[in-house]
Amino acid sequence: MDSRWSDADAERAVERYTKQGVGLDLALRTYTTRLLGADPRLVIHGGGNTSVKTVMPTLTGERVEVLCVKGSGWDMASIEPQGLPAVRLDALRPLAELDALGDEEMVSAQRGALIDANAPNPSVETLLHAFLPHKYIDHTHANAVLALTDQPDAAALCREVYGETMALVPYVMPGFALAKRAMEVFREQPGVEGMVLLRHGIFSFGESAREAYERMIDKVTLAEQRIARAGRTTLAGVAMHRKRPKAFAPIRLPQRIAPAADVAPILRGLAAQPLGPGRYRRWVLAFRSSPQILEFVNGSELTRYAQQGTATPDHVIRTKRLPLITPPADADEMAGFEAGARAAMEAYQAAYHAYFTANNARQAVPKTELDPVPRVILVPGLGLFGLGATAAEAAVAADLAETNVEVIGAAEAVGTFTAISEAEAFDIEYWSLEQAKLGKGAAKALAGHIVVITGGGSGIGAACARAFRAAGADVCVADVDERAAEAVAAEVGGLAVTCDVTRHDSVEAAFAKIAERHGGIDIVVSNAGRAWQGRIGEVDERVLRDSFELNFWAHQTVAQAAVGVMSRQRTGGCLLFNVSKQAIDPGPNFGPYGLPKAATLALMRQYALDHGRDGIRAAAVNADRIRTGLLDEAMITTRARARGISPETYMSGNLLGLEVSAEDVAAAFVHLALSEKTTAATLTVDGGNIAASLR
């Protein structure tokens, strides 16, 4: 592992931060913290922490010795000085004399010692940093180090690699007890350059930011070299194999493995938790595969090494202790795969309940059981899936699962992967301080739902993307204009999919991409369209056929593809169509547009009729006079002039005298998506037009 320290970059960081009033010590602390956080082999998704001891003024001007330590919830890769809150050392050091200190008492003491009461909570490992004398302290969960510490003979291995330069601390749950134990170990070996926490991670010490950082790099490099001698080399975060561990001897797989796009909806449906008739708590999936992952999931001893636990306890709260393992996905026997996966899911959830019951029995204060849904699913022959309440959470679970793959692979090359015990994992998973990291709050109405919006790159489609994202859904923006789709997707943090809805192959490819990336589809807003014009007795046949291709057949193609995905999930779904007022109140010279829209209205009702028993609802929005690509400013002006009125008067020419916006239409689509007992309905959004109103 190479040092990323740069004198020039360090100077620029110091210059930038000192202009903000930040001291030299904290400026350099921020710089090296970001260096550590930028390497996923060292730190991933909030793991690890750093600190510096320095002097700062209080509000009264008194200069006091403080510890600036990573704040809980901050990501080391992007941390800023405010992410390293300052706590008074004279308030923390006396705590070392206590025999015991409860978690909540510890947090209270740390917050009480803050220089700034509005600062974030200091790390749960703040006292460990405070009780040690070093100016700079770095802590990571380096993959290579974990491969050595997650062993039955971890202490002997680490002594072989580090000699007397590093102190060894047996596994102790983070908090006051670990801080005390680390202090005691250090007092026995005061000349060490750092500490290895067995089954947990590594600390490095230094009198300068550079010294602590480069000691971390050096110690991790020594671990990498030891793994390489066992026949496995880590290079730039990717495992390069020279020798396959015996445990990874491949199993026999079916001749054809089903693609992730076919497997993911099945798994997503099995993970969904019923909340009542037709209602589910849904999960988003993130798929990963690579030669290293495939070697792992195809290994003959998968059920042993993958069922030991996580590489470091920090992962447990985000991935649970164990993954779910399914049978291989035989493309020629998908019914058999679904049955096997269902049995595996049921067994996993029963085992999780038993795990909770057994470990909760020894708690002084009983815990409330969390959901039993796995956060990682391993599919031999295919890869792995991370699960989360959102696409972002699913990606975190998948990232951590990939880290486990790398660590376990290296550990098996060296010896035998061994994690903390079940009881110790339970204490982390149900630890109130770790639970607080997740920032739990009330879930939004469409959290866990995956929404696809065609024509999502502009106008009503773009407004729908924003509205569904605001309601908590993960949004997929499908548009024939790639740049437009990407721009809207970037705005809402969604997935952009290039899709020509008039082509079956393009729609199938887009939906396969969505299923592979997110696991499935719950809601489709079939919105793409164009307003062709012409007197019906004179219009060219090509114009009418082109309009039917986009304004009717494309809706059928999209809906049919969506139903295919929803049927594999077996959790229902919602098809929403943009039918326009032309479907109900046709205007002169708009037959080429109104006729296919009327057919689409009938299509919506047919889907509601034929797929209602599958839990798939269908509904439509009937809108009029919206400023979009379908009704541009030139068309508005032309229509207004024909009536002898201003464009503004034309746009508000309805019973309420109010102009209707794309956002109003989007709100109607969201409303229909949330109306769980409504199907075959058409919602009118036009400010009032009796001729276009329904019952």
DSSP 52-82: EEEEEE-TTS-EEEEEEEPBTT--GGG--GG
- In whole angstroms, give the CA distance from residue 280 to residue 615: 11
CA distance 140 to 44: 9
Any long-range contacts for 236-240 (C-beta under 8 Å, 24+ apart)?
Answer: 237/39, 237/40, 237/41, 237/406, 238/292, 239/292, 239/406, 239/409, 239/410
Q: Report the distance separating Cα 457 and Cα 592, nearest Å.
A: 24
Question: In sequence order, what E strands does 299-381 have?
Answer: 324-325, 376-379
Average pLDDT, the chain: 94
Q: In this model, does residue 620 exceed pLDDT 50?
A: yes
Using 50, 70 and 90 to split pLDDT, how confident is the model at 642? confident
Cα separations in angstroms, 637 against 515, 631, 632, 641, 650: 43, 10, 9, 6, 9
Weakest mean pLDDT among 23-37, 255-269, 615-629 = 615-629
Give the residue carrying structure tokens 């020039």.
8
Look at the block and give the residue holding tokens 């923006």: 477
* pLDDT of residue 45 exceeding 60: yes
Distance of CA 618 to the CA centre of its chain: 29
**Res. 244 pLDDT band, cuts 50 70 90:** confident
Q: Which residues contact 584 (CB under 8 A, 6 or more apart)?
A: 598, 601, 622, 682, 691, 692, 694
Amino acid at 436: A
Q: Would you state the pLDDT for residue 339?
A: 98
**What was the pLDDT predicted at 251?**
94
Task: Find all residues with CB under 8 Å of 553, minimum gap 6, and list them.
Answer: 502
Residue 637 has pLDDT above 90, yes or no: no
Q: What is the pLDDT of residues 559-613, one digit of tens each?
A: 999 999 999 999 999 999 999 888 999 988 889 999 999 999 999 999 999 999 9
Please state, in angstroms and as integers, the Cα–Cα distance from residue 598 to each residue in 498, 551, 555, 557, 607, following that order: 27, 9, 12, 17, 15
Long-range pairs for 605-613: beta carbons < 8 A, 24 or more residues apart: 605/680, 607/559, 607/563, 607/575, 608/679, 608/680, 609/680, 611/563, 612/679, 612/680
Least confident among 39-53, 153-167, 560-574 = 39-53
Higher pLDDT, 648 or 294: 294
Q: Among this protein's residues, is 593 annotated catalytic?
A: yes
- Bridge pairing between strands 63-69 and 166-169: unpaired
**Range of weakest confidence among 131-140, 229-238, 557-566, 587-596:** 229-238
**Pick from 105-114, 296-305, 399-408, 582-591: least confident:** 582-591
In this prediction, residue 695 has a pLDDT band, given cuts at 50, 70 and 90, of low
Residues in the chain: 695
pLDDT number for residue 239: 47
Q: How far apart, in whole angstroms, are the C-alpha atoms of residue 662 and residue 453?
A: 14
Q: Which of the following is catalytic: 162, 593, 607, 650?
A: 593
CA 86 to chain centre: 30
In one-letter notation, the amino acid at residue 61 is: G
Residue 650 pLDDT level (bands cut at 50, 70, 90): confident
Kindly give the residue spans of alpha helices, DSSP state H, lying in 367-421. Answer: 391-414
Average pLDDT of the segment spanning 440-445? 77
Count of Cβ atoms closer than 10 Å to residue 534 Cβ: 16
Q: Please give the model's pTM, rounded to 2 decimal places.
A: 0.93
Q: How far is CA 21 from CA 26, 513, 539, 624, in A?
A: 10, 48, 71, 56
User: For residues 657 and 289, what is the distance between their CA atoms, to the nearest angstrom?
Assistant: 56
SS3 379: strand
Sole residue written with tokens 């649970």? 320
DSSP secondary structure code for residue 94 in this structure: G
Q: What is the mean pLDDT of residues 426-451?
A: 81
Residues contacting residue 20 through CB under 8 Å, at least 6 positions apart: 81
Any residues with CB less than 8 A from the CB of 349 and at least 6 apart, and which? 372, 373
Tokens 């049955």 identify what position? 339
Task: Look at residue 238 in the predicted model and tell me its pLDDT.
Answer: 44
Q: Which two tokens stand for residue 531?
A: 């307003």
What is the distance between the alpha carbons of residues 168 and 195, in angstroms, rounded to a whole number? Answer: 6
CA distances from 129 to 65, 163, 178 (A): 14, 23, 11
CA distance 602 to 104: 61
Is the pLDDT assigned to residue 414 strictly greater than 70? yes
Residue 403 near residue 239, CB atoms below 8 Å? no
Burial class (CB in 10 A: 0-12, 13-18, 19+), 397: buried
**Which helix (H) or strand (E) element contains residue 175?**
none
Residue 108 Cα distances to 53, 105, 117, 182, angstroms = 21, 5, 12, 21
Range 229-240 average pLDDT: 59
First to last CA, the chain: 70
**29, 138 in Cβ contact below 8 A?**
no
Q: Computed from CA positions of residues 622, 624, 626, 628, in that sequence, does the dihedral angle turn out positive or negative?
A: positive
pLDDT tens, 351-362?
999 999 999 999
Q: What is the mean pLDDT of residues 275-286?
A: 94
- Stronger pLDDT, 51 or 314, i.e. the higher one: 51
- Tell me which residue of 356, 312, 168, 334 sits closest to 264, measured CA to CA: 334
Task: Write the pLDDT tens digit of every residue in 82-108.
Answer: 999 999 999 999 999 999 999 999 999
H runs (alpha helix) in 113-204: 126-131, 143-149, 154-162, 176-188
- Asked if pLDDT for residue 70 goes beyond 50, the answer is yes
List the single range of 41-50, 124-133, 336-345 with lowest mean pLDDT.
41-50
- Lowest pLDDT segment from 168-172, 390-394, 623-627, 683-687: 623-627
Q: Which of 228-232, 241-245, 367-371, 653-657 has the lowest mean pLDDT?
A: 241-245
Q: What pLDDT score was predicted for residue 232?
A: 66
pLDDT band with cut points at 50, 70 and 90 for residue 51? very high
611: three-class secondary structure by DSSP: helix
- Statement: residue 465 has pLDDT above 50: yes
> Per-residue pLDDT averaged across 542-558, rounded?
97
Which residues lie across from 69 on neighbouring strands? Answer: 51
- Using alpha carbons, select from 269, 136, 158 the residue that is nearest to residue 215: 136
Nearest alpha-carbon partner for 683 in 583, 554, 566: 583
Q: Cα–Cα distance between 169 and 455 in angstroms, integer?
A: 58
**Percent of the chain residues past pLDDT 70, beyond the cut:** 96
Show the tokens assigned to 553: 């057949």
What is the distance of C-alpha 126 from the center of its chain? 27
